[in-house]
Amino acid sequence: MRKLLLHYLLFFLFSGKLFSFPGEEAKIITYFNSADVKKIDSLCEVISADPATTPFDRHYCAGFVHNFLGEYYLQRDDEISEKHLTKAITHLEEAVLIKPDAELYALLSSAQGKMVAHVSIFSKMSAGNKAESYLQKAMELDSNNIYVKYVNAIGLMRRPALFGGDKELAAEIFTEILEKYDTFEQPGLVWVSKALIYFRLWQLADMNDEPEGKNKLEKLLRDQYPEFNLER
């Protein structure tokens, strides 16, 4: 039964028909917001085993799942994180060859950007430049896409100022996404939920040593999005 449910979740997520089925998007957002690693990891098994899955969807799904897991393990286990990110990049590079798409390039930029933590000091600049080139490609294709904006803000938040980081601008972009969230013609990749944007603002408040703002955002997340896992 669980395998069948995951199959339908994947259909809604990757068939391009997600928002034709009222309520299903909420289930999927909850699924990923909870950061249930075992269930998310099982998505790869489901999509790989399904003979009806197209090569594009196979690479797309696997790339997303491995990118998520690569970030999850980033502060927990370097070896596991690097393994997942390597797989994510491989799958996403194949996916963009089949369908050059702004969201895919942004997702590829996200995975490549996290790989900077795993390469030698001599390779960090090269890896960072590669991530930036993928993001620029995404912005050329659709600079107004919610996920492209999100990945851009994440990069600005995480990079040192010396390398183009700008936490204030990142906060402005996250706030803009929240203000316009319900007006986007296409919400972008489904895991850009409002809860996730509040979570990134919560992280920024922590990075900027703003305890009052952090506490307010944490209360908002716990009150309005109790399923959201802050330990992600």
- Residue 45: the pLDDT is 67
Residue indicated by tokens 């904006």: 149
Cα 200 to Cα 48: distance, rounded to the nearest angstrom: 32
State the CB neighbour count (10 A cutoff) for residue 208. Answer: 13
- Residue 1: the pLDDT is 38
State the CB neighbour count (10 A cutoff) for residue 22. Answer: 7
Digitized pLDDT (tens) for each residue of the chain, 232 residues in all: 334 334 434 443 444 432 222 343 444 455 555 666 666 666 666 666 767 678 887 888 788 888 888 888 887 888 888 899 999 999 999 999 998 989 899 999 999 988 877 766 766 777 778 888 999 999 999 988 888 999 999 989 888 887 788 999 999 999 999 988 877 665 555 567 788 899 999 999 999 999 999 999 999 999 998 877 777 6
- Residue 8: the pLDDT is 35
- Residue 43: the pLDDT is 63
- Residue 73: the pLDDT is 86
- Residue 30: the pLDDT is 54
Across the chain, how many H-helices and E-strands are there? 11, 0
Cα 123 to Cα 117: distance, rounded to the nearest angstrom: 10
CA angle, residues 108, 113, 118, in degrees to nearest 5: 120
CA torsion 189-173-109-46 (nearest 10°) is: -20
- Residue 186: the pLDDT is 58
Cα 128 to Cα 2: distance, rounded to the nearest angstrom: 39
Cα 96 to Cα 93: distance, rounded to the nearest angstrom: 5
- Residue 174: the pLDDT is 95
Domains of the chain: 2-7+25-191 (1.25.40)
- Residue 189: the pLDDT is 52
